[in-house]
Structure 1
Amino acid sequence: MQFRFKWAALNSPYIEVSVLEIVILIGILHCFALGFTILFSKFFKSKSNNPLGYTLLIIAVVGLNNWFWDIGTNPLLINILDLFLWQFLYPVTLFFFFVRNSVQKSKTLKSYRYFYLPFVLLSTLNIMLSLSINFDLFILPFKTIDGYSFFYKSISLLSVIFPLLMVYLSYKQIRITNRPVQKKWLFYLWVFTSALLVFGVVLESYRFLFSEKLPLTYLWTFASIFIYWLIYHGLFQFKLSNDQFEIRSIRRKEIAVSANKPAAKRSHFDSLINLLDTEKIHFDPNLSREKVADKLGISSGYLSQIVNENAGVNFPDFINSRRVEEVKKLINDPEFNRYSLLEIGLECGFNSKTSFYTNFKKETGLTPREFKNK
């Protein structure tokens, strides 16, 4: 099916654009919007997120460039954008996103800056070659047909090798990430982006072998799906994980202060209270009776007995009660006002939204939102 619309800048008053190409254009525009949102919105703006925002903007520029070439037109702006070899830039910015979110030190980040050199050097050569061909401003040493062919063949080959290298290095960064929720999200993002890069590499390999450029319609269809996934699922989960990490960092300071306080000889129940107050073991969503019993050097059955005798409830209810108390403290602390209630609940040890809301209402008679408003 074909749609027709006017394009005043062209000699022909109409160009034909398929439904699929319109969908791809919408995806590219969403990519622009999402990139700017990540870079400038209060909700997502951070040093960790910035490389992802830059990556999306670069991908959107590349997508717009290819979209115009695929429909058979090339406005001046597209010709200018085509001078830069973007395929050597967005794999680097994406790699920096994985580096920043694997909790690397700034000193380590600086050591990776040389990855930008291929984009800078090759784009400069490409611009000089274009100016030499179109305007005869200067003569390049390889200004021959064979020289041009060798240069662009080399670009095609490097366009295959370089993204694959960055995919591999990005995966290495994910493996050293020490935040479980973050690691899962980053891995999904890596799978999506790697699939896109590999698809692009396959197309570039065809161009290198047969000197023919294939349409990128299907690549950008897949890229559009990725953008929609990133908008409606990925970024919420990513912000949730990042905010949990920030909450945890703030709470660690309190834990460190508590742990340094001298502890007198205690009974087993007092020792349990000490673990909760100093080590905050209830912040672990996978905490079990067996884990706590091992820490105390007693059996899990005896642990249940002493909790029931001293607190009058079973072990899970006792732990959840302590988690609710922690949540109440954070809700009342102005320092945590910018975080959502769910983020606070998950960081205090609840493993799901349902568990958090159910136990909070059981303890207080109110939902977290009602408690905050009250």
Structure 2
Amino acid sequence: MASWQNLSDRINIVSPSATLAVDSKAKAMKASGVDVIGFGAGEPNFPTPQNIVNVAAAACLDPKNHRYTPTAGLPELREAIATKTLRDSGYQVDADQVVVTNGGKQAVYEVFQILLNDGDEVIIPAPFWTSYPEVVKLAGGNPVEVFSGHEQGFVPTVEQLERARTNRTKAIILNSPSNPTGAVWSEELVREVGQWALENHLWVISDEIYEHLTYDGVHTSYVGALLPAIREQLIVLNGVAKTYAMTGWRVGWMVAPHELAKAASKLQGHMTSNVSNVSQRAALCAVAGPLDEVAHMREAFDIRRKAISSALNAIPGVSCPVPQGAFYAFPNVEALLNKPLGPQGSVATSSAELAALLLTEAHIAAVPGEAFGAPGYLRFSYALADEDLAKGMQRMHDWVLAQQ
């Protein structure tokens, strides 16, 4: 490119989505005839529940859904999300505090565009969802990573967070249940972190998209319910993608204080305007309906969670804590590095190189820990069919042991 064609600094400092990159490469290999087992994408393999699909099909035929809606979303959907917040999170919000977005990612992006000025800092507990630091950078902010490894359950302490705080700290991200680790923050920790944020005048961005996917009697703790005073500096991010197997419908939302919700709607008015009407009608059916189908999916995920944890821990050199939430396993693979692996005796010096070898040689798609601020780990989604999970784990086992 010529010098006058240079792209902006803000886009040049942002890394591509590693999860989407792995998924794209795996799909390309499949398209060329390679039998790849994909553990990369965080996408339930279940179809969207039929009652939701039926509502969407009927909505397509109704001319009122062929027009714009208010930018912040269908009024009845915003009301339903407010009702769902009371039902699930345990505290009351107004429909005017809800902004419906094109998927959960847009809600994440908008929050930081609204909150941050150049140089503002956001504390991001690591391992983290791969897009958090990038959307902070796009808003001119500085992501501050606070790492917690498997030895402390992938959750930080308040002391760690306090050491990372400066006079430029504007916000902290709380993601529980967690992507990529499946860790669930205890009620005590959520309360402590919320109190710390309250005392230090920090915004809390609580990503609760995996709220209904918890196991072994563990439950999601909601900071907005535990600390009512935090609600004036709390922004909740959520969506229908994971809970209802609706990743392709692209409906997310934020619940925020009134002034911030107005600002988000103003920004969205210049970006995308409203979410697709048909998708909003489908989301309304999902959010306002029962959680029966969700319970069935959770039961299936629970079986896969136990299966993948057991299979990974049976591979010499792999150590995998059993996740308490979401649908990801996050094993430590440091013991596999710098040693011959696979039939060709290939050597990986990093988890990124290991993930590349697993894809090219064993035809298994996993995401390297570098994407999540956690070198030495791999993320495996277990939101895939049972037989594919078993087949993929057997491939990894055989590949790792090929040199022994």
Write 1 or 2 for the structure with the bigger share of helix: 1
Larger radius of gyration: 1
Instruction: Choose between structure 1 and 2 for higher RCO, CA contacts under 8 A separated by at least 6 residues.
Output: 2
Do they fold alike, i.e. is TM over 0.5?
no
- Normalised by the length of structure 2, the TM-score is 0.24
- Normalised by the length of structure 1, the TM-score is 0.25
Write 1 or 2 for the structure with the bigger share of strand: 2
